[in-house]
Chains A and B, each alone.
Chain A
Amino acid sequence: SQKIEQNSEALNIQEGKTATLTCNYTNYSPAYLQWYRQDPGRGPVFLLLIRENEKEKRKERLKVTFDTTLKQSLFHITASQPADSATYLCARGTGFQKLVFGTGTRLLVSP
């Protein structure tokens, strides 16, 4: 099956460090991958989209990479802050644009 896999274990880092989250996909080549942020009790919020022909995309302290050889996308938050603590979801688009999500990785940034 065409899966999106994210590390289900929480990632704990100290404020100021760079957080790196991983998204792996199997058995297909998505045209693009998206990253969303979800806070407890809230809906996902779109952060970044990266296409298969883009190696890297940046937005403020966020950076996403897309490696079609490794079948992997990495999501980086530089100079992390406690306010960055949330669950981060990776998703791929499919026919009719429905999104297939990974289970998400919870990030905890300690002061």
Chain B
Amino acid sequence: NAGVMQNPRHLVRRRGQEARLRCSPMKGHSHVYWYRQLPEEGLKFMVYLQKENIIDESGMPKERFSAEFPKEGPSILRIQQVVRGDSAAYFCASSPVAGEETQYFGPGTRLLVL
């Protein structure tokens, strides 16, 4: 059973470009969470999605950031017009059902904005 997959593992963008981060949850998991880890800081929750629904986006910056989890395909975290402060590691986690406390994390995407 493959774990949570994220791609790309590393992404370099210039200021003003768009970044698209993909997450395929574990098989059978329909709940996806995105977290951001800035250098020397802890993981911070961004958004929680179920298939075709955003359940909680309280940690997502109001501008430039969006997330989706379509009926088919991976979850996408999209950052428009990236700035240097967006440089971080972005982790996706999944769980099988609501109320399942344990989350299974992917390897992360390291975004570097030049």
Contacts and interface: CB of A to CB of B under 8 A. Distances in A.
Chain A bound to chain B: yes
Interface of A: 32, 34, 36, 41-46, 49, 89, 91, 93, 95-104
B43 A97 contact: no
A1 to B, nearest CB: 13
B25 to A, nearest CB: 13
Contacts of A100: 45
Chain B contact-residue range equals: 20 to 34
Interface stretch (B14-22, B67-75, B96-104): B96-104
Interface of B: 4, 31, 33, 35, 41-45, 48, 55-56, 58-59, 91, 93, 95, 98-108, 110
Given A101-B42, A101-B43, 14 more contacts: A41-B110, A42-B107, A43-B91, A43-B93, A43-B105, A43-B108, A44-B105, A97-B31, A97-B98, A97-B99, A97-B100, A98-B45, A99-B33, A103-B41
Given A97-B98, A98-B48, A46 B104 contact: yes
Task: List 5 tightest A-B contacts by C-beta distance, closest first.
Answer: A43-B105, A103-B42, A101-B43, A98-B45, A101-B42
A34 to B, nearest CB: 7
Contacts of B102: 34, 46, 49
B106 to A, nearest CB: 5
Nearest to A48: B102
B66 to A, nearest CB: 18
Contact of B107 (A43, A89, A95): A43
B43 A44 contact: yes
Contacts of A104: 42
Given A34-B101, A46-B102, A46-B104, A89 B42 contact: yes
Contact of A43 (B98, B101, B106): B106
Given A96-B48, A96-B56, A98-B56, A46 B42 contact: no
